Amino acid sequence: MNSLLPSRMSPRTVRSAFLGLCVAGLFAIAGCSVGPRYQRAPVETPSTYKEAGNWKTAQPNDQSLGAAWWQIFQDAQLNTLEEQINVSNQNLKAAEAQYTQARAMLRYLRADYYPSISAGGSASRNKIASNRPPANVVTNGKTFNDFQIPFELSYELDVWGRVRKIVESQREQAQASAADLATVNLSLHAQVAMFYFQARTLDAQEQLLNSTVIEYEKALQLTDTRYKGGLASDVEVEQANTQLETTRAEAIDVGVLRAQFEHAIATLIGKPASSFSLSPLPLTSPPPSIPVQLPSELLERRPDIAAAERRMASANAQIGVATAAYYPTISLGATGGFESGVITTLISGPGALWSVGASAVAPIFDAGRRRANVDQAKAFYDESIANYRETVLTGFQQVEDNLAALRILEQEADTQHRAVIASEKSLDLSLIRYRGGITSYLEVTIAQSAALSDEVTAVNILGRRMTSAVLLIQALGGGWDRSALPQRPECCGKLSSHSK
């Protein structure tokens, strides 16, 4: 405490010191803020989606997706699975923890708005050498106690807005983290829906193959009966048997991929794969109509676009932080406390001491370091603009991709349905011709293969339509809206796992 100037702390002195700190604080609040003002970078936005020209609107007039967007499929089993994401998914919990970290860092940086005050205490017993120069000093050779209770206050005046820009940058980073959380949330729910519909598509394939096996068993019995009656050869029997066993193998093989989708769903809902089972439910219904809004609304609906925009704003604030380094750093400091050689008189008027002061440090020469730092911040901002615009373009692409997929797959499904009808009719005619002895079983085999292939293709098209519907909803942002971003994450920005 040798730097402290001992003095009696008169009320007038205390008031003067306090007034000086208050005036300095007001000066800091009213200080200017260097750096460019943020404006969202413009992006080219089409007036309509090209692939939505003949798109069907949702009925009834529900033109927006809710937070629980999966309910549009009206599937109770899917709803149950989706609800477990918010409770048990570990990736979602990790994203929530990352957002909590961003909020904590923001509160940490906001502390620089206020003075830092610390206190301590010390006690020592000292012996001064008798031969300490200069000679004959009265304190030489003395032994004494020293008790201290010091207080220190330090405060950097935010004259140029450096602290404000740092806090602004971190606040926008926290908002970006909130948007990242919403992106993860949307992605996980979409994955569950896609895996679920792919599993149901395989259920439909297995059902089709099993029913075909039954038909092939009947065909084998017919061929065997004709063989025993001398109306067919053993080659035809083996052809029928080969067709039957091949189809049985295909039905069994479906179980491999189906099991993988079941295990993937288990992981997404936070359960061990060994303890989860998804009951078979063949896919039969086409996807519902999905409300598609104007392209301009995509900028407000997709959380990944919002995250990229918030990071762009954060990078802009960092230019101000770098620019503030050109100006002096002005700080206030105050120290005080009590000091005495006798502990019983430590906290008393004569034992009080204090010191108040200010300092300013201005950079003079740094070999271009500050300029390089500003250039780096500007380049990082330019990078964030490019990333933002690329995210927007990707969003438009994904919407167009899945609008096109749904439109084209619907046309393909109609055409494939007619192909299934034709192949079934061809198979019926071949069987009639075979029973009448007009043709060989080879014609039946070819017709059976064509009919089964067409039916499997039809099932796969239906599955692709459901997957494309989920991807379209994900590309549209699900039920999320930019208004869900916390305006002040440092105090009231705790989010749930839900989109809204």
For residue range 177-209, list pLDDT tens digits in order.
999 999 999 999 999 999 999 999 999 999 999
Pairing mode, strands 122-127 and 116-119: unpaired
Tell the residue number behind the tokens 């000086």, with chain if given.
Answer: 20
Q: Please report, rounded to a whole number, the percentage of residues in the chain having pLDDT higher than 90.
A: 75
152: helix, coil or strand? strand
Q: Looking at residue 127, what DSSP letter applies?
A: E
Tens-place pLDDT, residues 397-449: 999 999 999 999 999 999 999 999 999 999 999 999 998 889 889 999 999 99
Rg (CA), the chain: 38
Q: What's the gap between Cα 231 and its chain centre?
A: 68
For residues 434 and 231, give the distance between their C-alpha atoms in angstroms, rounded to a whole number: 10
270: left (phi over 0), alpha (psi -120 to 50) or beta: left
For residues 100 and 94, give the distance between their C-alpha atoms in angstroms, rounded to a whole number: 10
pLDDT, position 288: 93
Q: Looking at residue 296, what DSSP letter applies?
A: G
Confidence of residue 286 (pLDDT cuts 50, 70, 90): very high
Q: Please report, rounded to a whole number, the percentage of residues in the chain having pLDDT higher than 70.
A: 90
Domain locations along the chain: 1-30+115-157+328-361, 38-113+161-327+368-492
Q: Other CB atoms closer than 10 Å to residue 141's CB: what's the count? A: 12
Q: List C-alpha distances in Å: 322 to 30, 279, 337.
A: 20, 59, 37
270: helix, coil or strand? coil
Quote the CATH superfamily of domain 1-30+115-157+328-361.
Answer: Outer membrane efflux proteins (OEP) (2.20.200.10)
Tell the residue number behind the tokens 């619907």, with chain if given.
Answer: 410
> What b/e string do you get for 361-391 counting C-beta neighbours within 10 Å, with b at 16 or more?
eeeeeeeeeeeebbeebbebbeebbebbbeb
Tens-place pLDDT, residues 336-368: 999 888 888 888 888 888 999 999 999 899 999
Confidence of residue 319 (pLDDT cuts 50, 70, 90): very high
pTM (2 decimals)?
Answer: 0.86
Tell the residue number behind the tokens 């900028």, with chain if given.
Answer: 299
- CATH fold of 38-113+161-327+368-492 reads Outer membrane efflux proteins (OEP) (1.20.1600)
Closest CA to 468 of 423, 413, 407: 407
Tell the residue number behind the tokens 């979602």, with chain if given.
Answer: 92
